[in-house]
Structure 1
């Protein structure tokens, strides 16, 4: 069997748990799920056909019809996870703090007053093995997307649990971008597509990303990005409140004289907040917009996707 080994660093506090939500743990099923999500997101730009995507996804990751996955995954860690565990107290995340705003639901004064998390700096490797070399090659792009745009655990789309892909070894060697220019070029290559937005969150010709200014460390970059996000959404007041739905649902919006029609709808945010850390330790906010069908009865959010694009321009 051939294999590739991808090494990741945790860049911002990661709230990943198993059955006991108060305890932090690095879970392989969660990592598999994240890679499957990014494979699917990239697949729209590649195939543009929902049935073909389902067939290829089942072939690669397994299904009841296709059998087990073509790829086998296992985790290794150079450090002891126990030494990288922290504890967050709900009382320190007030409703007016940036942490409480982008970390809503991670801790709760009544239901979950404290919660363990994995501290930034923890590194781990994911080893992927397969008999089919093509299957390994198909995993490279999702690995890059996860480590350049995404994260793991609770509120990962709001910058928590951001990961930086440090290297890929195996059938092909890959080194991370060393600066903003290299990162921009890497993302342009990864996210390019000529296809129109599809029926789900994925790569298309409307995909956009923004890289913010450079900060001395990841904590400063996350704080700045979260504050910008909070201030931008709070500024959408009055009739403009419905424009907030471009950043995901549900949202309980108090509207004068009318009931917000999407108050009980659910739609994961198509806007991904991420913190990327360069090899020298400095970090920059990265925000990605992946438009797709918004709701079954509403193709796009209020204001189309312009509100989200305006936010990207402020990063």
Structure 2
């Protein structure tokens, strides 16, 4: 049996908890859920049926015989994460959507849902720059490499906890040690780089997955050692693009980026998450912000279900979906660099 222990460090505040959101908790089930998501994202070449089968073979399924081949633990004796005592984010104010021309903190905006309009946190969290261990124990070693790759992407691009698509819960790997038959081997330097894992020749799938349509945008400058400055840069770029999709209460175009909580009851689009992931990476003594665009054929499966509800489906829905994301990406590129993968 092989065990790999990753020593990680939080880059941005991490809103990770159990049923009681007032108590932050480093939870293996939450980590495993995020790992499964990114494993699926890295296997977009598979059909949905194949994906479910292979995922069950690695991470376990509903059948008794489908036991997980990878067990995740967080040793309590090596994890000293302390709940944050902060009552606000560092200040970075500007005029953003929904602010009604009143300057609001960009970090509050990105954390909306865990930080409310009354300027208070609704969820407890762990501060940045705290270290902890995550252990992956493999009962079957045939899939070790692909799980490690998914783990790397999860850490840097995905993150853990609430608001991870908006830049929170980002972590970096400090050290990785493999333990097999009581022999410890430092494998840190042999871990794949997250940028290399984004390259693929796959075409877009019906679920969130990496493909040849993925785009990576990066900040034009490296920020200071403070995470909030780097997050502000990409947050401002995201807001710049969002403003060009209509005002805060106009959903006709913006709904293709992400369907909001409140929208026209006759809309043929169900609520769905955006295809953009904001994150940071350490570089030259500071942090550089990134936005990863991961498109998928969300609208390809809406027809039958909506027809049952009596909702009409525009014949040009796919074209509108592509046009909206293309415009959004063009606006991002006005503020950020488009990298070649």
- When the two structures are superposed, what TM-score results if normalisation uses the length of structure 1? 0.83
Alpha-carbon spacing, 1:226–1:110, altered in 2? closer, same or farther (3 Å):
closer
Quote the RMSD (CA, aligned, Å). Answer: 3.1
User: Once the 2 structures are TM-superposed, how far is the Cα of residue 241 of structure 1 from its aligned partner?
Assistant: 5.6
Q: Which residue of 2 aligns with 1:256?
A: none
Query: Larger Cα Rg: Structure 1 or Structure 2?
Result: 2
Report how many residues are paired. 298
Could you tell me how far apart the structure 2 residues matched to 1:211 and 1:7 are? 26
Could you tell me how far apart the structure 1 residues matched to 2:80 and 2:40 are? 32
Q: Deviations over 1:32-86 (max 9, x none)?
A: 1000000000011xx432222111100000012342101111113745222x523
Unaligned runs of 5+ in 1: 178-184, 254-258
Q: Which residue of 2 aligns with 1:291?
A: 295
Alignment of 1:1-315 (within 5 A): 1-44=1-44, 47-65=45-63, 66-76=65-75, 78=78, 80-82=80-82, 84-88=83-87, 95=99, 96-108=104-116, 114-170=122-178, 173-175=187-189, 186-212=193-219, 213-217=221-225, 218-237=227-246, 242-250=252-260, 252=262, 262=267, 265-278=270-283, 281-295=285-299, 296-297=301-302, 298-299=317-318, 301=321, 303-313=323-333, 314-315=335-336
Could you tell me how far apart the structure 1 residues matched to 2:26 and 2:159 are? 12
Q: Deviations over 1:247-275 (max 9, x none)?
A: 3222547xxxxx58549721111100011
Aligned 8 A contact 1:71 1:130 in 2: yes
Q: Which moved more, 1:237-246 or 1:196-205?
A: 237-246
- When the two structures are superposed, what TM-score results if normalisation uses the length of structure 2? 0.77
Alpha-carbon spacing, 1:302–1:88, altered in 2? closer, same or farther (3 Å):
farther
Aligned 8 A contact 1:197 1:203 in 2: yes
Could you tell me how far apart the structure 2 residues matched to 1:267 and 1:306 are? 18
Unaligned runs of 5+ in 2: 179-184, 303-316, 337-341
Could you tell me how far apart the structure 2 residues matched to 1:114 and 1:59 are? 37
Q: Which moved more, 1:294-303 or 1:202-211?
A: 294-303
